[in-house]
Structure 1
Amino acid sequence: MSSYSVLPNLSKHCSAALGALAIFASGAAFADTISPTSYSASLGIGESATVRKTVVVEESTSTALVDIMFVFDTTGSMGGAINGAKASATSVLNTIAATYGNTFSGAGQYDDPGSSIVAPLSASVAATQAGINTLFACYGSCGGDSPEVGYDGIGKAAADTAWRAGSNRFIVAFGDASFKNGTYNQASTSAALTSANVELFGVSFGASFDASMATLGATVYPSSTSPDDIADAILAGVSAGFANYTNVTVGDLGGGLPEIGVSTVCVSADTGACVGADAVGTYDRSIERTFTYDVTFTRLAAGDKSFDTFALVDGGIVATEADRFTTGETVPEPASLVLMAVGLLGMGATRRRRS
């Protein structure tokens, strides 16, 4: 097995675009950075390359990735309230997307027969808005009002949404009635929320809705609450999570497998200490902070591979590096070289005898 290090001479084995930021479809960029921002190499199976990574965590909180799903009760009893709920969701969405450019959103509903996702999570505010616009009271049916299958609507949104790795995740539910068991019950819905690491908010159009949401640990606002206040509460939750942090590291979140294995060693921390792959300490965004890591890429299986490596603050993605690996030619082991040499000498001797 052959291995080599590209430290400190990166230029021989990689192409790096220093100082560039990851740009998203929304047009927003991360404020935090990881450098180099791209890396490429040709590795044979068993070969490794180690690269020094620098992560800078800025003062700004605009690096947050926000994923938000809106879930609506669309049964008949919401006939006088559904338009207000939709307008409130639209206002919340626009406020959050304007604050955090890297916001993904979607929409779902529940009615007497069941629940569905009408707009999958995406970067398109317009797509979410279109999904919200399709909803109306009696979307599924107008029978069996109160209690409703709210557990199904919220549980499905938590479990089935394609949440982005490292995102801040929220569900905002709108309803007027208590919940009954369906595919999901209180316990399984709570488990789905916990498993997906989702924070639940509710906008209430009826007191019995409040009670069911309370069993899920939700923060509930009366329907009279202004959309701006609801959006501010969600924004405060995002900001609080990013204003203070305790862990910074670099990793690929499994994106390189099965072809490329990625391991990280923390080299230096801005105060705090390096513990294995992590910089650990009590940090805040009042000042810019710098951390360095040695990241080792190891070829485990053949095949070209492109994936991202991330700077992670408390497990959330704050900056992205693009990696590409091609399969290099296998370098013969020393024993193989000896056998090849003996073979060549033998061929030469045979030719001399024939001459």
Structure 2
Amino acid sequence: MGRNWSFRGCAVTASAILLGCQTALALPQNQGGNDVVALPVPAWVIVDEAGIAATVSPVTGTTNGATTTFNPPPATLLATGTYTLLPSGIATTRTGLAPVATATGKGDAGIFLACDKYQGPGGPFCQPEPGTVLYVGYTYYVTWTPRRFSSGNAKVAVQLTPEDGKGTTSEMFPVSRGFWAWTIDDDFLRLAGRESISVELSLLQDDDTTPADNDAQKHTGPTVYVMYPPPLVPVKSGNGPSVIAIAVPVVVAVVVLLLAGLCFWSWRRHGTVPIVGALGKVRRRSSGYGVRKSASERVGRGVGGGTFGAPSDKPGPNINIQLTDRDSWSPTGTGSRNVFREEMQRQERQR
């Protein structure tokens, strides 16, 4: 960063305390490839809501005989993770520091590591790295090192060149600023008529005139991919992701489980399903010898001439059956009597 962006006293310290409590959505890139190399504690930048930035330089000292670093970057800026990049259009997984920094407060407010990449692949840019995926609805920091430019009075503009060739250019500002906050709105993809698009980032440098003049020098930067966020990545609103987008599915799942448990309990206990049972009085029917059947339903109720059939509201007549010896039921009977015929006649008389 330029010298004119040094400490701003108490204002910087207060901003550091406030922003240090926020959780960064994106962390600094790993400049050493796939491995994280131990480096001296780097400087970091605080950006307020209006886009005004201040550089914080950590200082190493001794306290009670122990070496202590004062004003170090927040831990979120130095944490590592696993990220998917598309440097050549093919997904590549990389573990290290984050390839892009995201504004986490209102407006352009946020924090990121100061860029010190003077030359090499991607220089003078630090973030975002080539192949980074950026989502509509977020604000990202495009960072570079001012040391790359010979003139401290140079002015630059960030040029966005999508793959369809319809590029846009930011306003001009001093190169010493070292960053540009890029807010991606819906129009970026809607006007392109695409669900995703690759965009080349460049710096247009001019010492005295506007980038539109022929003497503007172009510094080509990384190519990134802009797309709509997936369903699990809520669009940032206010100070962070929407809690409702996370809580609603959980509440719905709990309610469904409770209703299923209530229905099962009611079916086992009362033989009815709530609501369905109230509307249609649907009850479970037992088959065979169920405990819910009455004695008359299990054995049948006498109807008419003593046969078993469907239940009847009116009981049938009493049928008195006389029990005799098995031999007496012979068609011929014993002696001169026909017991079988006599019994049939007796039953006919009782009707």
Q: Common fold, TM-score beyond 0.5?
A: no
- For CA contacts below 8 A with separation 6 or more, give which structure has more relative contact order: 1
Q: Counting strand residues as a fraction of each chain, which structure ranks higher?
A: 1
TM range (shorter): under 0.3
Give 1 or 2 for the bigger CA radius of gyration.
2
Q: Counting helix residues as a fraction of each chain, which structure ranks higher?
A: 1
Under a length normalisation based on structure 2, what TM-score does the superposition of the two structures give? 0.28
